[in-house]
Amino acid sequence: MDRPYDEKKELIPDTCNCGRGRLHRGFKEYVTKVNGGVLVIKNVPALMCDLCDEAYLTPEASREIDKMVNDFREGRLLAKPIAAGEVELKMKEAA
């Protein structure tokens, strides 16, 4: 076989789990809870479905996020404070 084996390509799927969408590269905002606080990481490279809103992080992005979350947990990450709100969804009781 002459075609060079592209390991990176093999790892990245081009179709979404929804079965119909195609994935394209983009950036998303990653939000996670850390120690009861909220950490928002912007500009995270991800593969996004063009049909549903599903986004898949690249392995490299996941690794970077893990590092940042750790740093944030240990107070080593300089993060800009943002306003956050928390509410609980109250469902109306079924009649």
Using CB under 5 A as the criterion, which residues of the chain lie in contact with Zn ion when the complex forms? 16, 18, 21, 49, 51-52, 54
Q: How far is the CB of 24 from Zn ion (least distance, A)?
A: 11
Tokens of 14: 């081009």
CA angle 49, 5, 51 (to 5 degrees): 5
Q: Which is nearer to Zn ion, 40 or 51 (CB)?
A: 51
Q: Which is nearer to Zn ion, 31 or 52 (CB)?
A: 52
Q: Which is nearer to Zn ion, 53 or 66 (CB)?
A: 53
Kindly compute the dihedral angle of the four CA atoms of residues 47, 45, 42, 65, in this order, to the nearest 10 degrees: 100
